[in-house]
Amino acid sequence: MKSEIIAIGSEMLTPFRQDTNSLAVTEKLNGLGITVAFKTIVGDRRKDLVNAIRTALGRVDVLIITGGLGPTEDDLTREAVAETLNLTLRRDATLVAALHVRVASWRMPMPPNNQKQADLLEGATVLPNAHGSAPGQWLDTIYEGYRKLIVLLPGPPRECIPMFDDECLPRLREVAPPRAIAVRTLKAAMIPESQADSLLAPIYTTYTDVETTILAHTGDIQLTLQCAKPTAEAAQARVDELASKIEETLGDYLYSSQDESLEQIVLYYLGLKQATLAVAESCTGGMISERLTSVPGASRSFLGGAIVYSNELKNSLAGVPAETLTLYGAVSPEVAKALAEGIRRRTGAALGLGVTGIAGPTGGTESKPVGLVHFAICDAQGTEAVERTLHGDRQCIREWASQQALDMVRRRLM
């Protein structure tokens, strides 16, 4: 069963607002085995509304429309659905009475345009609104020879979502074919997207019943596997089977099989080994620490560290010898090692991490270009340094560098 969500409201066609109802509605539709194939956002113009509704009815079985049910001139959803399906709108006396009661409770006279909220599509069932004045509507109808379910919901999330939960879900459950959806998200670090795809495409393309999505972002690859089957067990089994093959293929590039972030995984391993970490960051400027401390409870394993942007601070806070800085320059494997070792020594952490590089846009030279970053990690067993030349703008280089650094900690702990 395919569905479409149409969000109605001109404010969602500005640069400043987004439709958010569709996220919660999607989650619940998926839970019933109903796929969301399209989302459309359209303004408060009647002609555009009719166009969007007609288009949706031509391509999906279930149409969820949010917004445009209020009392104002530009609330046109009821009228547009009526026009598209060639249905009449009837003002419902019971609903008008309920609106009067509601408005009276605010000790205000009811403006006449308020009554349009009581206009009911021919054949529709009223969906009571527990949190506002505009009722929703449920229409089970035939359009061009096919059965279509059309649901009209109010736009404000605190009205829309409870109405969807209380009024639509039970009705949809009755009509949706018995089907369950299983989803799993796997994550890998520091493998190029095209390399991941050429390794994985031969595998996942043979699972035609599992939808595989690959998302890449500055050194992070996220694979989402989704499968719909008549039973939850069957869906889960297919997803798990494909997940195992992907895990095997990606080997130690893979850091999470359950959607955890890389910083969560690093903290998890630190906890497991009862180890602590301290960092000395130059070009990443606090990004590694910020990522780690975004996880609640990070303080159990992450001690902190130093942001050593200037050479003086590399020396005074992280204990890099002045002669190492003079001899090799701030961006060098020697300084990365000295940062890792120095911060470990000064903080008493089990692991020390050091990062130094050139984030740009200026400051690069021929031998040390923008994007060159040196990393080092050390523990009681010794120190390991890695060099990377990263691409993109300042923000991108810093994000890649923080990803590489966290991945080194993960690999050291594995």
> Where in 106-125 is the site for a second copy (CB under 8 A)?
106, 108, 110-114
The least CB distance from residue 401 to a second copy, in Å, is 12
**Interface size with a second copy, residues (CB under 8 A):** 111
Q: Following DSSP, what letter does each residue of 134-193 receive, concatenated?
A: --EEEEEEEETTEEEEEEEE-SSHHHHHHHIIIIIHHHHHHHS-S-EEEEEEEEEES--H
- Residue number, 140 or 211, with CB nearest to a second copy: 211
Helix axes 46-57, 77-85, angle to 10 degrees: 50
**CB-based contact 143:85 (threshold 8 Å):** yes
Site residues for a second copy, 266-285, by CB under 8 A, read: 278-279, 281-285
**CB-based contact 269:413 (threshold 8 Å):** yes
| Integer Cα distance of 144 and 118 in angstroms | 28
Choosing from 269, 302, 375, 400, the residue that interacts with a second copy (CB under 8 A) is: 302
H/E segment holding residue 31: helix 21-31
Q: Which amino acid is at 231?
A: T
| Integer Cα distance of 305 and 405 in angstroms | 14
- Binding letters toward a second copy, positions 348-387, x by CB under 8 A: x----------xxxx-------------------------
The least CB distance from residue 311 to a second copy, in Å, is 10
Per CB under 8 A, 91 contacts a second copy: no
Choosing from 1, 42, 339, 372, the residue that interacts with a second copy (CB under 8 A) is: 42
* Residue range at the interface with a second copy (CB under 8 A); choices 5-13, 85-93, 140-148, 163-171: 5-13
Choosing from 201, 272, 322, 327, the residue that interacts with a second copy (CB under 8 A) is: 201
**CB-based contact 341:348 (threshold 8 Å):** no
Choosing from 88, 206, 244, 310, the residue that interacts with a second copy (CB under 8 A) is: 310
Residue 319 tokens, joined: 């204990």
Per CB under 8 A, 104 contacts a second copy: no
Cβ neighbours around 299 below 10 Å, total: 12
Q: What dihedral do alpha carbons 293, 299, 301, 302 form, nearest 10°? A: 50
Site residues for a second copy, 11-30, by CB under 8 A, read: 11-18, 20, 23-24, 26-27, 30
- Residue number, 40 or 236, with CB nearest to a second copy: 40
The least CB distance from residue 211 to a second copy, in Å, is 6
Place of tokens 């709108």: 89
The least CB distance from residue 187 to a second copy, in Å, is 13
Per CB under 8 A, 258 contacts a second copy: no
